Structure 1
Amino acid sequence: MASSSLAPTWGIWLISAFLMSILYGAGLLQVFLYFKWYPNDWTGIKLSVVAITILESLEISIFYYGTYLHLIGGLEDPTSLLSVFWPDSIHLLFMYLSSVTAQLYFTYCIFKFTALTVSSKTARLGVPFMILLLILLELGAGIAQVIETLSFSSFVQLSSVKTRTSLQSATAVAVDVLITLSLVIILRKNKGQIDQTNSMISILIIYAINRGILTAACALSNLILFLAVPGTFYFFIGLNVSSKRYMNSMLATLNTRSHVRKQSESGSGIIDWGTILSSNQSDTVRLPSIKTVIAPNHFNPDINIHVEAQTSYEMDNLASKNSLSTGQSPRISPHKGSCLA
């Protein structure tokens, strides 16, 4: 490899390594803050955080081991700069698994929320099922890519996995767009006449859009650069930081719950839907004399939305369809289990 070609290849490789290291460090900080701020979270949430942390730690460790083999070996044998070593493929596997973990997190939360707000079983399962199929397709294409690249002897052969790489990146973009649109649509449908509620929903819509833009941009840039600039590593800019974006977006969603909740908790008779969804108690939850009800958040049930019930408020967006009035004890029947949010 001529020295003039090092900038668009190994120069970009190192830049992407610095970027992913920064995001990985930010992710570890968020993991620390999560366990410090939310020690009583449901076990399923904690296991999800542990899983994505382990996957990211393995991914970056293997990536840097491969970097060492290339750059240090390249001082003795320049051909090693072109060679493909096993860490070059295996680190992709952990990257894809980490990204899928975060995507499943948001998908399951969409499912749990629609279980409370949508009465039709078909409508309730349709979007989450579609997202799940795309996630499986994304993961399958990624695994196929990893298996094939394990047999490569040189980076020159990367062009032979163009179809699998394009499919993996395209489905990743589709998943992010679909998740974001689902969150925004669900939130907008829950807007009503209460200014405080609408203000909170607007904030959550912004959070959802920002999350989707960042993760989709990484996958899209990976796809575009891989196809537009072959023979270089420019696509690493989007590829190597993608799973770190997912990790940070997932943890940011978890860690901002208290901040948003404090903005919404201003009355008595507050019902914490995060607690309801994270319990294995009876399906029926009785509500005492209600002045303020907190409706479940779209993708983060621990972030609560106030809905003031002065004389009566028809919760037509909830599956229960109960009319709430001061002094009543309606029955609301959330599904058993816990949403990982």
Structure 2
Amino acid sequence: MHISEAELNGILGAILLSGTFSWMLYGCTCGQVLYYVNNYASTDHKHIKILVTLVWMLDTGKMIMGTACDWDILVGGRGTPARFEGLPGILPGIMFFGCITIFIVHCCYLYTIWKFLKQSDRLSRWQFIMAPPLLFATGSLVAGLVNAAHVVMTDNIEGALAKNKLVGPMRLACAVITDIYITVWLCYHLQDAKTGQEPSDNMITRLVNYAISRGMFTAIAQILAVVLLLTDGTSKTLYSMIFYVPASGLYVNSLLFMWNVRHYVKKVSMPTNPSRWSNMVLDHAVDSVPKELLSREGSSPPS
């Protein structure tokens, strides 16, 4: 496989940038995990602590493999065109860990929507509400696994890009649709839960702003990866890796931030005597709601 100097620059530069951004996000992940351990680990339910450990281990595993892969290409092969005659054998593992991590984060947010549905009169139509995002999230996972399998069966970058011409953009597009769906429904349910009381409404507004910001950043990263992946096939570069590889770290940080922000939101938005319904709305983000909190004093939960 012949690689021109311009194509080589596009490959090596993209690998260097993707590794740099991945390490920056991983540093944020470790910081958030430490914050969680110091502030929430002693009181949270076991399943939340297991999820925090799981996403951190997946992100750590991806970073170890990513660093080994970058070292093999940039240092071991000295960035020469001959190095790309055979792709690093560890590369499919990076893709596997990344798509598994994103799927787990999607499921956590979809579980949040499911808990909101349980408190509304829309529970009878849950199949029509939950089926589409689950389908797209699963489609993103399957496409990511197929993408990794294609890389295993190819010998060089050109062959990998050719094999994943359809599956690669499909994986990213499904993730974007899932992110948009999650963002819209979270904002809808949170707005629907407003009580008319200023402290609790301020809390909900903060959560809505977070949901929008989270969905915007993850969706933009995936959209940019789709656009660049379509151009990589013709230009024989890897610019899409700048967003493709670090994307899972962005998802992990969004999830950990949601779990770590609970005390802050309560403290800033509800300094005194929050209502039981307001506490329930915030707890929806991370845990199951006790039955005795399913209604406010003097009224029923909004639908």
More contact order relative to length (CA 8 Å, sep ≥ 6): 2
**Residue in structure 1 matched with residue 239 of structure 2 by the alignment:** 234
Return closer, same or farther for 1:31/1:77 CA change in 2, 3 Å cut-off: same
Distance in 2, matches of 1:21 and 1:102, equals: 19
2:292 equivalent to 1:296: no
Partner of 2:15: 13
Structure 1 position 77, deviation (Å):
6.5
Tell me the matched-pair count: 293
Does the 8 A contact of 2:203 with 2:269 survive in 1? Answer: yes
* Alpha-carbon distance, 1:204 to partner: 1.1
1: CA distance, partners of 2:17 / 2:74: 14
- After superposition, the C-alpha distances for 1:257-284 in whole angstroms (9 at most, x for unaligned) are 000111344444854x7xxxxxxxxxxx
Taking the aligned partners of 1:145 and 1:301, their CA distance within structure 2 comes to 31
Residue number in structure 2 paired with 1:130: 132
The structure 1 residue matched to 2:267, chosen from 256, 262, 266, is 262
Q: Where do 1:139-288 residues align within 5 Å?
A: 139-157=141-159, 158-230=161-233, 231-268=236-273, 271=276
What one-letter code is carried by the residue in structure 1 that aligns with 2:102?
A: S
Contact 1:108/1:128 (<8 A) preserved:
no
Q: Distance in 2 between matches of 1:26 and 1:294?
A: 27
Secondary structure of the 1:183 match is helix
Question: Which residue of 2 is the match for residue 106 of structure 1?
Answer: 109
**Greater Cα offset, 77-86 or 142-151:** 77-86
Shift of 1:298: 7.9
* TM-score with structure 1 setting the length: 0.79
Displacement after TM superposition at 1:195 (Å): 2.6
Shift of 1:149: 1.2
Partner of 2:121: 119
Q: Among 22, 25, 30, which residue is 1:28 paired with?
A: 30
Question: Which of 93, 105, 111 is equivalent to 1:90?
Answer: 93
Tell me the alpha carbon deviations over residues 122-146 of structure 1, each in whole angstroms, 9 at most, x when there is no partner. 3344323321121111111111111
In structure 2, C-alpha distance between the alignment counterparts of 1:67 and 1:102, rounded to whole Å: 26
The range that moved more, 120-129 or 174-183, is 120-129
Structure 2 residue ranges without an equivalent (≥5): 290-295
- The residue that corresponds to 2:49 in the other structure is 46
Cα distance, 1:268–1:64 mapped onto 2, change above 3 Å: closer
Say if 1:208 and 1:69 are closer, same or farther in 2 by CA, change over 3 A: same
What secondary structure sits across from 1:52 in the alignment?
Answer: helix
Structure 1 unpaired stretches of 5+: 274-292, 319-341
Taking structure 2 as the reference length, the TM-score comes to 0.88
CA deviation profile, 1:162-198 (whole Å, cap 9, x unmatched):
1111110000000100000010111122234323332
Distance 1:195 1:76 in 2: 59
| CA RMSD of superposed structures (Å) | 2.6
C-alpha distance in 2 between matches for 1:260 and 1:75: 49
User: Is the radius of gyration larger for structure 1 or structure 2?
Assistant: 1
Is contact 1:56-1:244 (8 Å) kept? yes
> Which AA in structure 2 matches 1:41?
D
Q: Distance in 2 between matches of 1:29 and 1:125?
A: 38
